[in-house]
Amino acid sequence: MHKPVLLNEVIKYLNPKPGENFIDCTVGAGGHGLAILEKNNPGKLLAIDLDPDSLQLLNSNLKSQISNLGQRIILVNGNFKNLEKIVREQNFVQVNGILFDLGLSSWQIEESGKGFSFKKDEPLKMSFSDQALTAESIINDWSEEKLVEIFKNYGEEKYSWRIAKKIIEERKKRQIKTTLQLRDLVEKASHFSWGRRGKIDRVLARIFQALRIAVNDELKSLEEGIKQALDILEPSGRLIIISFHSLEDRIVKNFFREHEKNGILKILTKKPITASEEEINENPRSRSAKLRAAAKI
């Protein structure tokens, strides 16, 4: 079962009060969103997710709970880079807080079949929505230089050239279609033995992360989404963002600093909030989570 990361901290910094309205831009399994709804009655929650399968699963698993909430929760399948458009279409006004949780849910990694994990044999898709661009098309069609750029810029991987070259060599022989095919190529290119499992797993994680970011254009979407979130928020409204790698966190940190300097935001977390050892023991995926919070002036 998916456990929402930094749940207590999210509620602390969002500080939902009765009658206030909130947006969860990445509702996923609903952990953060339902906790907000417990605090803001009779306020509303606009719950957005790019992955239609995640929303369907959420609706199925929490059908009775969602039904009891009535008009207080609005589920929308969409990309938060279109946040202003979604808010306008839903006529969702007086927004007191907005949350972005940029991590994958346990279901997406372990059960979705979309190829997010290098530990399972799945098609090389890696897209949250039904779109033409997939990891398979990038791996098989994009140039060696472009692959290197993705692996270096989005994965910060020092073996980028070696891995890209191995992929080019292999795809001349056969189409690369599965996660295990890609995993095998990365392992061969990195020249690591199975005896150094921890190190190769970190390389694999960076390569898979880089492909996922490229497929879904995640960093540009984040930049666009948080700009729109700031415009949507009411004065004193809170903006909470949980990131999971340095590229995301850098975007958030710079955005907060720039707008605090301009007198538009007040940063509530001078340093990012991270998970406690207790939470990490219960939920190892929380280890890399960083929460930053700010309030609109």
How large is the C-alpha radius of gyration of the chain? 20
- The CATH homologous superfamily to which domain 112-216 belongs is Putative methyltransferase TM0872, insert domain (1.10.150.170)
Backbone φ, ψ for residue 46 (5° rounding): -95, 110
| pTM of model > 0.75 | yes
pLDDT at 63: 76
Rounded-to-integer distance, Cα 295 and Cα 297, Å: 6
Is the domain defined by 7-107+219-296 classed in CATH 3.40.50.620? no
Instruction: Show the low-confidence residues of the chain (pLDDT under 50).
Output: 193-194
- The tens digit of pLDDT for each residue in 269-294 reads 999 999 999 999 999 989 999 999 99
Q: What is the DSSP string of 207-254?
A: HHHHHHHHHHTHHHHHHHHHHHHHHHEEEEEEEEEEE-SHHHHHHHHH
pLDDT at 193: 47
pLDDT at 227: 98
pLDDT at 116: 96
In 3D space, the residue among 240, 235, 234, 257 whose CA is nearest the CA of residue 8 turns out to be 240
Domain boundaries, the chain: 7-107+219-296, 112-216
Q: What is the DSSP string of 53-118?
A: HHHHHHHHHTHHHHHHHGGGEEEEE--GGGHHHHHHHHT---EEEEEEE-SPPHHHHHTS-SS--T
End-to-end Cα spacing for the chain:
38
Q: Is 12 helix (H, G, I), strand (E, B) or coil?
A: helix
Backbone φ, ψ for residue 193 (5° rounding): -90, 165
pLDDT at 51: 94
- The tens digit of pLDDT for each residue in 122-165 reads 999 999 988 889 999 999 999 999 999 999 999 999 999 999 99
